[in-house]
């Protein structure tokens, strides 16, 4: 129903009850209100994201490539499920009171990003103390790309998510080039980029 209508405006407890052939009170036995029902629906759907990210990184030994693959899997999933993605991220949650979607994402996308960025740190690309910050930066980049692709599909995204992939690559390379210290000079950044290019080749 949510996907059919394109948003949650026409979705109500009564409408859901009518669709599944039960009474509204029976729905309330499981969900306190419409928001709780929407949260549960989106959370169930987002469980598939973990499968998508796992498949994208399976057999990829290089953590840098794994990060890009996971980021692209995240973007592709969002674009393939626009209504659920908008509903899931359209309502803010307060600190200390995560939604079911928050819990699912923490156990899937966030956990996988942490594992991959930690592997990059172990590989010498980042400092271990920076892992949490870099995960947030990477997730914010993937989320921003996905949200913009959904909101502005007419922009020149290129075939097969080409622009999205180049943006994620730029974020990863740029962050790696900056290294771990504050005030890194241009020479150090240039050296770092050259070493990354050599590694890629």
DSSP per residue over 170-188, as a string?
A: HHHHHHHHH-SSTT--HHH
Tens-digit pLDDT profile for residues 151-196: 999 999 888 899 999 999 888 878 877 765 444 555 665 666 666 6
Answer yes or no: is 32 within a domain.
Answer: no
Between 162 and 34, name the one with better pLDDT: 162
Q: What pLDDT sits at residue 147?
A: 94
- pTM for the full predicted model: 0.73
| 138 pLDDT tier (thresholds 50, 70, 90) | very high
Alpha helices in the chain (DSSP H): 2-5, 13-20, 24-28, 34-57, 63-80, 82-90, 100-105, 111-122, 131-151, 162-178, 186-200
Q: Is residue 86 part of a domain?
A: yes
Over residues 70-127, the pLDDT tens digits come to: 999 999 999 998 888 887 777 677 676 777 777 777 777 888 899 999 998 888 878 8
Q: When comparing pLDDT for 11 and 70, which is higher?
A: 70
pLDDT at residue number 121: 87
Closest CA to 80 of 111, 49, 58, 44: 49
The domain that holds 92 is classified in CATH as 1.10.357
Kindly list the distances between the CA atom of residue 150 and the CA atoms of 53, 70, 147, in Å, as whole numbers in the listed order.
20, 19, 5
- Domain assignment of residue 148, given as a range: 45-200
Q: How far is CA 165 from CA 86, 117, 157, 172, 180, in A?
A: 21, 17, 10, 11, 24
Say if 28 falls within a structural domain: no
Q: Is 161 domain-assigned?
A: yes
Q: How many domains does the chain have?
A: 1
User: Crossing angle of helices 63-80/111-122, nearest 10°?
Assistant: 160
> Higher confidence at residue 143 or residue 97?
143
């Amino acid at each position: 129903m949510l996907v059919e209508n394109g948003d949650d405006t026409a979705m109500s407890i009564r409408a859901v009850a009518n669709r599944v052939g039960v009474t509204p009170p029976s729905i309330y036995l499981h969900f306190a209100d419409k928001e709780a029902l929407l949260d549960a629906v989106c959370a169930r759907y987002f469980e598939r994201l973990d499968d998508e990210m796992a498949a994208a990184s399976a057999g990829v030994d290089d953590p840098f490539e794994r990060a890009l693959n996971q980021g692209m899997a995240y973007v592709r999933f969002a674009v393939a499920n626009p209504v659920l993605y908008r509903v899931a991220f359209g309502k803010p949650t307060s600190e200390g009171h995560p939604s079911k979607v928050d819990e699912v994402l923490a156990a899937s996308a966030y956990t996988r990003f942490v594992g991959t960025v930690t592997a990059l740190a172990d590989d010498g690309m980042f400092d271990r103390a920076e892992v949490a910050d870099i995960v947030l930066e990477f997730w914010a980049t993937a989320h921003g790309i996905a949200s913009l692709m959904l909101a502005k599909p007419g922009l020149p995204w290129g075939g097969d998510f080409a622009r999205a992939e180049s943006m994620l690559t730029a974020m990863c390379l740029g962050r790696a080039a900056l290294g771990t210290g504050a005030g890194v000079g241009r020479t150090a950044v240039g050296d770092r980029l050259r070493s990354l290019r050599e590694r890629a080749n």
